[in-house]
C-alpha cells in the first residue's frame, strides 16, 4: 500500500514521515520516532496506557491512525520534563508514590496533563472520573489521586 | 493488532466526501471519531477497502440551539455535550448519556452522530434520541433528507442511511416547559457496554398529567428499542407510584434481551423494569424543576 506523507509536531518538534494509512499513532510514536515512553497495554481501547495529548485533549493513541495526526500537535510523556525540571505531575507521582510497576504511568500522566490544564483545583471525585479510562492493575489509584492533587496544588502556586 | 491495508481519502468538503462515497461504493467506510470503527478494524471484524476521513471538513463540529432545535453536527464530539450549557440546562438526559459513554479519553474523539450511525444496539445515544424524538439529517448526492429516529434502526448494525449518504446532523426538539428526562445505564465497569440502559423523556401539563412520553431501551434487543406501548400507556396519566410501577413492568415486557456474558435474559428484563422506574422518577423530578 502506498505510503503517504505526514507532518506531525511531537513535543514541540516537527517530524515529517511517510506512513501507511493503517499505521496506528502509537506505533508511529514508538517505532518510527522511537518515543517508547507511550506504552501499548491492552491494544483494544480499554486501558489507557497509550494515552497521549493531541491538540490539548487526551486520546488513546492505539485508537487513532498516525495519518489523523497530520498537521496536529502531539504531546507524549517525553514532553513533560522541561530543561531538566520534572513537570509537577511527575513530581507528584514521585512524592506521593503514584506508581508501582509503572506500566500505566505514562498514560496516567498524559490524562492528568490535559485534565489539569482545564481544572487545576479538582475534587478527588473529579480526578477519579478523569482517570476512569486509565487502568492501574497495581491497585494504586489512591496514590494516583494524591499525586494529581499534589500537582494541582503546585500548578496553582505557579509551578507550571 | 494491525488493521488490513486500505486506501485513505481526506476530503475537505462535504460535497467532495459524498462524491467519494458515490465513486468508491459500499466498500468505502466513513471515519469520524473512529472509536468504534478503528477497534473493529484492528480486530479485523471489518476491513474496508477505502477509508473516507471526514475529520478535515470544516464546520461540522457544532452543537447549537436554533429554531427550536438542538443541532448536533457530524463532528461534534461526546465531550462537547458534557460541556455544553444548552445541553446541561435543557437536555440533562443528553448530559447523563455523554457521561456514561465509554470513558473520557474515548469521548475526546467519539462523535455523537457516529454513535447513531454505527447502528449498534449497545450504543447509548440511540435510546436517548428515541426518547427525545430526534430527527436524523442525512446528506447525499440528492441533497438532504430527514429521517425520524424511530425509522433509523431497521436491523442489527444497520441504519436507514444509503451507502452514499452521510449523517450530517441530529436535530432534537427543545422540550417544552415542565419537561424532564433521564438516562440510566448499568455497566459492569467504566467503558463497558450497557447490561441494560433506559432513557425516559416526559412532558407534563399544568395539572401534572403526562402529555408526552418517550422511552428508549439500550442493549436489550437486536436494535435500539422504542417502548411504544409504555409511551402510550403513560400519555394522559398522572405519574403516581402505581402508574410508574405498571409502566416499568410494561417496558420490561417490551424489551427483547438475550443471554450473554452480561447476564441472563430474565435478569436484563428485570433490570429494564428497575431502571425504567428509577428513570421515570428522576425524569418526573426534573420536569417539576428539580435537578
Instruction: State the virtual CA torsion across B49, B52, B55, B61 in degrees, nearest 10.
Output: -120
Query: Is a pLDDT exceeding 90 seen at residue A97?
Result: yes
CB B221: neighbour CB atoms within 10 A? 17
Written as one string, the DSSP assignment of B169-184 is EEEEEPPPSSEEEEEE
* Domain limits, chain B: 7-56, 63-173, 179-285
Tell me how close the Cα of A138 comes to any Cα of chain B, in angstroms: 17
Residues of A in contact with B43 (CB under 8 A): 44
Residues of A in contact with B5 (CB under 8 A): 1, 20-22
H-only helix segments in chain B: 14-24, 37-42, 78-83, 85-90, 92-99, 104-109, 112-117, 125-132, 228-234, 241-254, 265-287
Given this structure, which CATH class describes domain A88-156? Answer: mainly alpha
Tell me how close the Cα of B66 comes to any Cα of chain A, in angstroms: 28
Shortest CA distance from B77: residue in chain A: A57
Query: Mean per-residue pLDDT for A93-117?
Result: 97
**Separation CA B74–CA B113 (nearest Å):** 5
C-alpha cell at A81: 520534563
Tell me how close the Cα of A22 comes to any Cα of chain B, in angstroms: 6
**Separation CA A67–CA B245 (nearest Å):** 52
H-only helix segments in chain A: 25-27, 88-95, 105-118, 124-130, 141-156
Taking domain B63-173, whether its CATH number is 3.30.465.10 is answered by yes
Torsion sign (Cα): A78, A84, A85, A86:
positive
Fold of A4-78: Ubiquitin-like (UB roll) (3.10.20)
Asked if B166 and B139 count as a contact pair (C-beta separation under 8 A), the reply is yes
Select from A100, A79, A91, A87 the least CA-distant residue to A150. Answer: A91
Can you give the pLDDT at residue B74?
A: 98
Tell me how close the Cα of B40 comes to any Cα of chain A, in angstroms: 9
Torsion sign (Cα): B156, B160, B162, B166:
negative
**Contact state of B106 with A51 under an 8 Å Cβ cutoff:** no
Cα–Cα distances in angstroms (integers) from residue B59 to residues A3, B27, B74, B94, B182, in the given order: 29, 26, 9, 22, 30
Asked if B249 and B236 count as a contact pair (C-beta separation under 8 A), the reply is no
Can you give the pLDDT at residue A160?
A: 52
List the CATH code of the domain at B7-56.
3.30.43.10
Decide: helix, strand or coil at residue B149: helix
C-alpha cell at B58: 470544516
Can you give the pLDDT at residue B122?
A: 97
A44: nearest CB among B10, B39, B53:
B39
- Pick among A45, A112, A125 to test the B interface (most B CBs inside 10 A): A45
Can you give the pLDDT at residue B57?
A: 98
Can you give the pLDDT at residue B111?
A: 98
pLDDT band at A28 (very low <50, low <70, confident <90, very high): very high
**Mean predicted lDDT score pLDDT of chain A:** 96
Decide: helix, strand or coil at residue B285: helix
* Domain limits, chain A: 4-78, 88-156
Cβ of residue A139 closer than 8 Å to a chain B Cβ: no
ipTM of this predicted structure: 0.96
Query: Is a pLDDT exceeding 80 seen at residue A139?
Result: no
- A4-78 and A88-156: identical CATH topology: no
A133: nearest CB among B8, B55, B103:
B103
| Residue A72 main-chain phi, psi, to 5 deg | -110, 175
pTM for the model: 0.96
Shortest CA distance from A127: residue in chain B: B104
Cβ of residue B12 closer than 8 Å to a chain A Cβ: no
Residues of A in contact with B108 (CB under 8 A): 57-59
Angle B284-B62-B106 from CA coordinates, rounded to 5°: 75
CATH superfamily of B179-285: CO dehydrogenase flavoprotein, C-terminal domain (3.30.390.50)
Residues of A in contact with B51 (CB under 8 A): 21
A133: nearest CB among B7, B34, B106:
B106
Please list the pLDDT of chain B residue by residue as tens digits (291 residues).
899 999 999 999 999 999 999 999 999 999 999 999 999 999 999 999 999 999 999 999 999 999 999 999 999 999 999 989 999 999 999 999 999 999 999 999 999 999 999 999 999 999 999 999 999 999 999 999 999 999 999 999 999 999 999 999 999 999 999 999 999 999 999 999 999 999 999 999 999 999 999 999 999 999 999 999 999 999 999 999 999 999 999 999 999 999 999 999 999 999 999 999 999 999 999 999 877
Cβ of residue B103 closer than 8 Å to a chain A Cβ: yes
Asked if B62 and B84 count as a contact pair (C-beta separation under 8 A), the reply is no
Angle B46-B50-B51 from CA coordinates, rounded to 5°: 85
Radius of gyration of chain A (CA): 16
Cα–Cα distances in angstroms (integers) from residue B11 to residues A16, B19, B216, in the given order: 21, 10, 35
Shortest CA distance from B36: residue in chain A: A63
Amino acid at each position: 500500500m502506498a505510503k503517504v506523507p505526514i507532518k506531525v509536531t511531537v513535543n514541540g518538534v516537527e517530524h515529517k514521515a511517510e506512513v501507511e494509512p493503517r499505521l496506528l499513532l502509537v506505533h508511529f510514536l514508538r517505532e518510527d520516532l522511537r518515543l517508547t515512553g507511550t506504552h501499548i497495554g491492552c491494544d483494544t481501547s480499554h486501558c489507557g496506557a497509550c494515552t497521549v495529548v493531541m491538540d490539548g485533549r487526551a486520546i488513546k493513541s492505539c485508537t487513532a491512525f498516525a495519518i489523523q495526526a497530520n498537521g496536529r500537535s502531539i504531546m507524549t510523556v517525553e514532553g513533560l520534563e522541561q530543561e531538566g525540571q520534572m513537570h509537577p505531575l511527575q513530581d507528584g507521582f514521585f512524592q506521593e508514590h503514584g506508581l508501582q510497576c509503572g506500566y500505566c504511568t505514562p498514560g496516567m500522566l498524559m490524562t492528568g496533563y490535559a485534565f489539569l490544564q482545564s481544572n487545576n483545583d479538582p475534587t478527588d471525585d473529579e480526578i477519579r472520573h478523569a482517570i476512569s479510562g486509565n487502568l492501574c492493575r497495581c491497585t494504586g489509584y489512591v496514590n494516583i489521586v494524591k499525586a494529581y492533587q499534589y500537582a494541582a496544588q503546585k500548578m496553582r502556586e505557579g509551578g507550571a | 493488532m494491525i488493521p488490513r491495508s486500505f486506501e485513505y481519502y481526506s476530503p475537505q468538503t462535504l460535497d467532495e466526501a459524498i462524491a467519494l462515497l458515490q465513486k468508491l461504493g459500499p466498500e468505502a467506510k466513513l471515519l469520524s471519531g473512529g472509536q468504534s470503527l478503528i477497534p473493529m478494524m484492528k480486530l479485523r471484524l471489518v476491513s474496508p477497502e477505502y477509508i473516507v476521513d471526514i475529520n478535515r471538513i470544516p464546520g461540522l463540529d457544532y452543537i447549537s440551539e436554533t429554531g427550536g432545535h438542538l443541532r448536533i453536527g457530524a463532528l461534534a464530539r461526546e465531550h462537547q455535550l458534557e460541556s455544553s450549557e444548552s445541553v446541561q440546562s435543557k437536555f440533562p438526559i443528553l448530559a447523563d448519556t455523554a457521561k456514561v459513554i465509554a470513558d473520557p479519553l474515548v469521548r475526546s474523539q467519539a462523535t455523537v452522530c457516529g454513535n447513531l450511525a454505527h447502528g449498534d444496539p449497545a450504543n447509548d445515544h440511540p435510546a436517548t434520541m428515541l426518547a427525545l424524538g430526534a430527527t436524523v439529517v442525512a446528506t447525499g448526492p440528492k441533497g438532504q433528507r430527514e429521517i425520524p429516529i424511530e425509522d433509523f434502526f431497521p436491523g442489527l448494525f444497520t441504519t436507514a442511511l444509503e451507502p452514499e449518504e452521510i449523517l450530517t446532523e441530529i436535530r432534537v426538539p427543545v422540550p417544552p416547559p415542565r419537561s424532564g428526562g433521564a438516562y440510566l445505564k448499568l455497566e459492569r465497569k467504566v467503558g463497558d457496554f450497557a447490561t441494560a440502559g433506559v432513557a425516559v423523556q416526559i412532558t407534563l401539563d399544568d395539572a401534572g398529567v403526562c402529555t408526552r412520553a418517550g422511552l428508549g431501551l439500550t442493549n436489550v434487543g437486536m436494535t435500539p428499542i422504542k417502548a411504544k406501548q409504555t409511551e402510550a400507556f403513560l400519555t394522559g396519566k398522572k405519574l403516581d407510584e402505581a402508574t410508574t410501577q405498571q409502566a416499568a413492568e410494561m417496558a420490561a415486557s417490551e424489551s427483547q434481551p438475550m443471554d450473554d456474558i452480561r447476564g441472563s435474559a430474565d435478569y436484563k428484563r428485570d433490570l429494564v423494569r428497575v431502571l425504567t422506574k428509577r428513570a421515570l422518577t428522576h425524569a418526573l423530578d426534573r420536569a417539576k424543576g428539580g435537578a
